[in-house]
Structure 1
């Protein structure tokens, strides 16, 4: 028997438009994975669609079919070997020919394919591999026309997209361009072997006291029927064997190991991210034929849904510890997926961890992410909410499509099931909302799956039959949720059960962001506010300096949200003194986004301590797929917006909160309140009681002086993993304290300030925030290049935001300052001869 061999087919490719028969039409491909837009750009046949209006110039690419070709030499392999041609991803309608013979027809971007080409490669010498990628847009339209019986309802893009198992955002979304990619978007290679490990996975059963674990290791083998090989299973930790066994090699082989005192995997902030390595090797009498290994973590992950005074809970419990899941939703990090390198994945997740976010939601209109994404979430301790790839639509269910969907689900669940970071699978994104908004039939009490296929909402069969069956069989005990949002068959906006997407700030009724916390549910898996990216990102896609003004045509073109002009204007005019110069306008939109996220997260995290009233909050969205104006809190180039820092402060392990009751100035025709109630509290994610001291100051915005004595709480026993309410019925009499003033709270633990919060009178537009007396002093610069800045002010100052530069990290930004409370900021990555970072603050 021969050893396993793998040969990459990443180079040697050429491509052309399929219909162009001229030999000179072939153009070189630098390497695959790639998609056609990247290859056209490299051959100077296409201008970068991310710049200016070039997306429109690229529309012709969407309407063409493309052919890729590789002429390769048959690999030198032992005579008895099987040879497989392996495609990890083809986008999307692909007809694969080897030496002119069709060997594969693929129509699902989310599947990998293995083709036995042993006989096809019997002849030595050159072989020609060609792949015809048919136009996905045209095929989608044809499929839609072939099924007039289906109701093709959807939000975003064309309804025809629902017929195609391709990343749905390629049809354009309210944050992304319409760029219909095609190509070999994941690796392709040849494999030669006589025996191989086809799959490897583990089941872990952790004892209730966490002092022992049973680990069952499974392997599927591709071996000859007459084989007498053996398989060696090994578990390692930190490079050392902790368990080992050799058993007879069968088609499906397994062994169970018992480990005492296992090291557990935790989300960051709660413990270490221990990853064990499991390997399986096929052994012949003389050598190792094939070996694969995977990393896994030992942990339990539960979604707790129990009746309570608020309805029914929805929160996550990891290793027996309740965890408030503050985090973000994730869209694909590029319109051209092969652009996303391992380094870029790591930087995104590192940004999350630095921002104290514990969960990321892989949104259902993108892709099942690359292995490197899940790997880095494991390593850095970020929990994953994994949607299946259905977004904002009423998906059809003809038999061939259902078979493809089931195959897709099995393949991807099996591919990622060993990752301890995966905490939940959800069947779709907002498809139940489409059902509600378009009046499609949904009788929750009808439990017969075959009946569902006969209704005008047949996709229920996918979410409540196919996908839960796949997860139950292959999903390593991970919880399955039919959709996001979804709540036990009730209306998807029901705040008492399941998760909700709260879009009545920005979309919907456009509520004031100051009341965001009153709009939440048991788990808030989407909510957001748009903001412009930093000026450097705007200048990247704006080609002409004359277009650098807030409402320029090209800037509006790079904001895909319907009605964004009205929505941005509404929130700016209601809250801030508006501006027409671009840099100030950018900053003002960022202030609104930062305040919106703060009001939501701060209030919802406080509710965690009220019988887990709110189990978590995942803002929309962490990232962008191109340089744009969107709800992202960090732009395409990983430049954080101020909201990123605002969220990070609210998610500190210990955070203090202070808030006046909301006074709706628009309803009262801008009459000020006569009195204001206020509240003061501390939240903790620590697992033990902590003693703290809280001070609340009342400081004039106009003079910087305290208008009344401070309120001090000493030796507070801070409730672990919950909320400590200090003041719930405070009252300010504005007939006595008439000056506009801030409420400034600080929390000390062990003599150190660990958290701050400042509550401001609303709206900011009524306040004179000029002449604050800000001082920014450099305390010192370390040999490694770290700069320590000391910030102070003579009068309360709102939202001090530092300039963002590539490879420069800022420990804090979007900072509120009050007199008598210096704050420090650490800046890393600036070189000695670099100019200091610029900054802005409100009213500057």
Structure 2
């Protein structure tokens, strides 16, 4: 019997979005229900709506709302039964896409669901549980922190170790950053954080899955598509549509005998003249929509239900091959080697239900505008919203996707493993069709825990069952369970056991730069090396490194009520910076390199210029190490981090309000498709007196030695698959006078395809323009500028300054800022200028920022979001 003959609508889905209420306590609590936000929502947002708590982002209010995470909260809604409820053949379900986290669900007083994993969705059949008129749905959320402590006690056979936060997060499948991190507050959110749907059906389809095999020439694809059918589905029509043209490139109808049990329906077809999906700047982002339509009446042209997914055809390889350095680690897409330059991504809000599709799009667009090619979704956050992956697909941003484990020794008891398997399969199935997702990693830094605490890890033991008996049982998750799930659900996507991970013998603490990916934290953390050492601290793929900086003052002052607290080191500002030891480390790095200013504007500027300098040293030098085919010393670099989850000072290169710091623009310049680089050889000035740079009899640094006979490397990087010919011009400017001391031209430089081309190595200036011996003692310190010209057009420019900047004098720079129009500014200077920064604020976007200026140049900057004459600026001036 088909649905039409029964007089029923085959499939309906209604979101239970509005008219929710909530209260403190469980079902028996005598607290009054008050209005909640529309779903999705979280308890802090609902308390804010009702003015029950202050804004957790302001002042020290984070402390005054900590109690929220220790309480039980109940959500409630009343709704009517569907129109066809109770009719023969009709099934009614409640679909919970995400409950955070320990949730008991009651329908008309009866428990229908108990959930303990934030990342899992649930379908609950309520066909015999609804009332004809009004129904009451109640969800009780217990404290995840308290439940976590209970689980730690319950599983005393396991050694729970967590970094950053208290131990209670270890056994809980919840966004780990809710417990706080070294960049974020402790805000233990809970609530219905994803939609809740009331669905009815006589028949339905679900789990639309697509896999494909590209031909060797990448011009055609063999596609396999399938759905799961429930109930009397008569047939399914699969259609593939080219998104750009709207043309149907394939269509197949599959008969499906109507049965009540779940049945898989599968078909295959060939797509010719495939429009490939490429990372941004390498080609277009060819996208297709695959649509599955159910047919419930044999031969009918109308459809009862439609499922759609967007996909892109691309060939992805993680190239890990022995070479003269060790083992390579880089991505090859559509047979083209791709150097990765991008960022690590954390949740963009402490309350992710505030994030709209437009906000997600703006973040990914910002990364694309900044010449970034990858975002790494970090393992302590969430499997991101569909809107995030949709934006990365459309804008050509690659995604490195961690599973949600970070900085802990996680348990592996049966209940935990069962929950993790459901979580992983569901989220891989949800995300796998996105062409932007090019790698899955098992966790973030969990093998660092193994090393630091000497947990059991025998690389010779290849028996997964035996791993469960060690004090590092999570190895079973990362090296057996998760790779098995990827093999089942997304076999053509590379899997990596962890970030970082080498060969199982060296990860974060014992960095091996010859294999795997590394997190380089011996700048800022660890041994706190000078950031000028970053070029020698790289590896095959640097998936984390970073340097802190303040955001623009405009992004902080609205969260500090007392203006007298707006000074560096105030309690209000120190409280916002969650990084361990930041008071010493940030000031230390600034003071080591610059003359310190302690007014808020001046200190903010110096932290930003310092961060941009550190980022530049890394991106330029590690991209240079991309080398050439057969010698890809470094396959990519991802800064920690792109974004913030609240208004703070951190390693982010863009603040909570999507306002870039100068470091963002430094990455943008370093990651131009064709870029020139120049770098001085680093001569430490902070070494021990026994080192040769110091005068042994006095213990003071020898400045003549520090800057004399400075050696330079000059190179060009080109991501294009074709080579080119260009001219490189090297100029040496006196910092004191602005005079050009020396010009070196290298004409007809053959710039190699998809490689780094060395132009000058260990270059030393021998004589100045007049032919006199080049001596920094008489000429004074100088800055070097390298420019690349192709067909007479300036393609790229880079500068190398003598370090430390604090030893230089920047008096009387002769800076001129000319407003050309409401949207354009022209900046010039008579003498070299370091760190020219426009003060940005939310909505204001200059085309470039945080740049250096050399005499004789004019820098044109366009701005949106304000009138150009309203901009203010700073540069290093003392």
TM-score band (shorter)? over 0.9
Does structure 2 conserve the Cα–Cα contact (< 8 Å) formed by 1:803 and 1:838?
yes
**Counterpart residue number, 2:770:** none
**Which SS does the other structure have where 1:312 is aligned?**
coil
**Counterpart residue number, 1:794:** 830
Does structure 2 conserve the Cα–Cα contact (< 8 Å) formed by 1:11 and 1:32?
yes
Residues 509, 380 of structure 1: alpha-carbon distance in 2 compared, 3 angstrom cutoff = same
Alignment of 1:229-244 (within 5 A): 229-237=234-242, 238-244=245-251
**Greater mean deviation of Cα atoms: 181-190 or 249-258:** 249-258
Does structure 2 conserve the Cα–Cα contact (< 8 Å) formed by 1:96 and 1:104?
yes
- Matching residue within 366, 369, 382 for 1:354: 369
Residues 228, 365 of structure 1: alpha-carbon distance in 2 compared, 3 angstrom cutoff = closer
Residues in 1 aligned to 2:842 and 2:572: alpha-carbon distance in whole angstroms: 24
Does structure 1 conserve the Cα–Cα contact (< 8 Å) formed by 2:673 and 2:718?
yes
**Match status 1:758 vs 2:799:** yes
Does structure 1 conserve the Cα–Cα contact (< 8 Å) formed by 2:25 and 2:31?
no
Question: CA offset at residue 519 of structure 1?
Answer: 0.3
**Greater mean deviation of Cα atoms: 16-25 or 177-186:** 16-25
Residues in 1 aligned to 2:814 and 2:638: alpha-carbon distance in whole angstroms: 37
Question: CA offset at residue 77 of structure 1?
Answer: 2.2
Question: CA offset at residue 138 of structure 1?
Answer: 0.5
**Counterpart residue number, 1:736:** 775
Residues in 2 aligned to 1:805 and 1:622: alpha-carbon distance in whole angstroms: 17
Residues in 2 aligned to 1:452 and 1:257: alpha-carbon distance in whole angstroms: 43
Residues in 2 aligned to 1:476 and 1:600: alpha-carbon distance in whole angstroms: 34
**Which SS does the other structure have where 1:263 is aligned?**
coil
Question: CA offset at residue 836 of structure 1?
Answer: 2.1
Residues in 1 aligned to 2:92 and 2:121: alpha-carbon distance in whole angstroms: 16
**Greater mean deviation of Cα atoms: 176-185 or 734-743:** 734-743
1:154-175, Cα deviation, whole Å (9 max, x unpaired) = 2111122110000000111000
Question: CA offset at residue 45 of structure 1?
Answer: 0.3
**Match status 1:776 vs 2:850:** no
**Counterpart residue number, 2:127:** 118
- Matching residue within 665, 669, 673 for 1:649: 669
Alignment of 1:216-365 (within 5 A): 216-221=224-229, 223-224=230-231, 227=232, 229-237=234-242, 238-249=245-256, 251-285=263-297, 286=300, 287-365=302-380
- Matching residue within 587, 599, 602 for 2:605: 587
Question: CA offset at residue 826 of structure 1?
Answer: 1.5
**Counterpart residue number, 1:185:** 193
Residues in 1 aligned to 2:161 and 2:637: alpha-carbon distance in whole angstroms: 28
Residues in 2 aligned to 1:184 and 1:308: alpha-carbon distance in whole angstroms: 50
**Counterpart residue number, 2:400:** 385
1:724-779, Cα deviation, whole Å (9 max, x unpaired) = 11111311368624311011111112221111001000000000012111112233
**Counterpart residue number, 2:690:** none
Residues in 1 aligned to 2:356 and 2:346: alpha-carbon distance in whole angstroms: 15
Does structure 1 conserve the Cα–Cα contact (< 8 Å) formed by 2:457 and 2:472?
yes
What's the TM-score, normalizing by structure 2? 0.93
Alignment of 1:504-523 (within 5 A): 504-523=522-541
- Matching residue within 687, 690, 698 for 2:721: 687
Question: CA offset at residue 20 of structure 1?
Answer: 8.2
**Counterpart residue number, 1:470:** 485
Residues in 1 aligned to 2:197 and 2:686: alpha-carbon distance in whole angstroms: 64
**Counterpart residue number, 1:784:** none
**Match status 1:628 vs 2:643:** no
Residues 697, 276 of structure 1: alpha-carbon distance in 2 compared, 3 angstrom cutoff = same
**Which SS does the other structure have where 2:389 is aligned?**
helix
Question: CA offset at residue 807 of structure 1?
Answer: 2.1
**Match status 1:62 vs 2:69:** yes
Question: CA offset at residue 590 of structure 1?
Answer: 0.6
Question: CA offset at residue 21 of structure 1?
Answer: 4.8
Does structure 1 conserve the Cα–Cα contact (< 8 Å) formed by 2:37 and 2:45?
no
1:335-357, Cα deviation, whole Å (9 max, x unpaired) = 11101111110110011001000
Does structure 2 conserve the Cα–Cα contact (< 8 Å) formed by 1:70 and 1:129?
yes
1:389-444, Cα deviation, whole Å (9 max, x unpaired) = 00000001111010000110000000111100000000000000011001101001
Does structure 2 conserve the Cα–Cα contact (< 8 Å) formed by 1:249 and 1:282?
no
**Counterpart residue number, 1:678:** 712
**Counterpart residue number, 2:636:** 616
**Which SS does the other structure have where 1:754 is aligned?**
strand
**Counterpart residue number, 2:6:** none
Question: CA offset at residue 228 of structure 1?
Answer: 5.6
What's the TM-score, normalizing by structure 1? 0.97
Does structure 2 conserve the Cα–Cα contact (< 8 Å) formed by 1:231 and 1:248?
yes
Question: CA offset at residue 835 of structure 1?
Answer: 4.6
**Match status 1:711 vs 2:744:** yes
Residues in 2 aligned to 1:686 and 1:589: alpha-carbon distance in whole angstroms: 35
Alignment of 1:26-45 (within 5 A): 26-45=33-52
Residues in 2 aligned to 1:257 and 1:809: alpha-carbon distance in whole angstroms: 47
The alignment of Structure 1 onto Structure 2 pairs a total of residues equal to 832
Residues in 2 aligned to 1:591 and 1:808: alpha-carbon distance in whole angstroms: 19
Does structure 1 conserve the Cα–Cα contact (< 8 Å) formed by 2:10 and 2:296?
no
Does structure 2 conserve the Cα–Cα contact (< 8 Å) formed by 1:3 and 1:288?
no
Residues in 2 aligned to 1:18 and 1:599: alpha-carbon distance in whole angstroms: 53
**Counterpart residue number, 1:417:** 432
Question: CA offset at residue 19 of structure 1?
Answer: 4.6
Residues in 2 aligned to 1:102 and 1:220: alpha-carbon distance in whole angstroms: 28
Residues in 2 aligned to 1:654 and 1:152: alpha-carbon distance in whole angstroms: 48
**Counterpart residue number, 2:151:** 143
**Greater mean deviation of Cα atoms: 684-693 or 410-419:** 684-693
**Counterpart residue number, 2:732:** 698
Q: Which runs of 5+ in 2 are unaligned?
A: 4-8, 258-262, 688-693, 695-699, 767-772
**Counterpart residue number, 2:80:** 73
**Which SS does the other structure have where 2:148 is aligned?**
helix
Question: CA offset at residue 488 of structure 1?
Answer: 1.8
Residues in 2 aligned to 1:685 and 1:41: alpha-carbon distance in whole angstroms: 49
Question: CA offset at residue 788 of structure 1?
Answer: 2.4
Question: CA offset at residue 203 of structure 1?
Answer: 0.9
**Which SS does the other structure have where 1:234 is aligned?**
strand
Residues in 2 aligned to 1:77 and 1:30: alpha-carbon distance in whole angstroms: 29
**Which SS does the other structure have where 1:120 is aligned?**
coil
**Counterpart residue number, 2:96:** 87
1:111-140, Cα deviation, whole Å (9 max, x unpaired) = 11110111112x310001000001111000
Alignment of 1:99-114 (within 5 A): 99-114=108-123
Does structure 1 conserve the Cα–Cα contact (< 8 Å) formed by 2:204 and 2:233?
no
Flag as ranges the 4+ runs of structure 1 deviating above 6 A: none
**Which SS does the other structure have where 1:200 is aligned?**
strand
Question: CA offset at residue 806 of structure 1?
Answer: 2.3
Residues in 1 aligned to 2:48 and 2:636: alpha-carbon distance in whole angstroms: 42
**Which SS does the other structure have where 2:58 is aligned?**
coil
1:294-323, Cα deviation, whole Å (9 max, x unpaired) = 100000111000011110000001111111
1:201-256, Cα deviation, whole Å (9 max, x unpaired) = 211111121121111112122x22xx360110000013221100101126111211
1:179-219, Cα deviation, whole Å (9 max, x unpaired) = 11110001111011112121112111111211211111121
Residues in 1 aligned to 2:233 and 2:836: alpha-carbon distance in whole angstroms: 70
- Matching residue within 498, 516, 524 for 2:542: 524
**Counterpart residue number, 2:21:** 14
**Counterpart residue number, 2:854:** 818
Does structure 2 conserve the Cα–Cα contact (< 8 Å) formed by 1:699 and 1:706?
yes
**Which SS does the other structure have where 2:401 is aligned?**
strand
Residues in 2 aligned to 1:228 and 1:558: alpha-carbon distance in whole angstroms: 57
Residues in 1 aligned to 2:159 and 2:37: alpha-carbon distance in whole angstroms: 43
**Which SS does the other structure have where 1:244 is aligned?**
strand
**Counterpart residue number, 2:769:** none
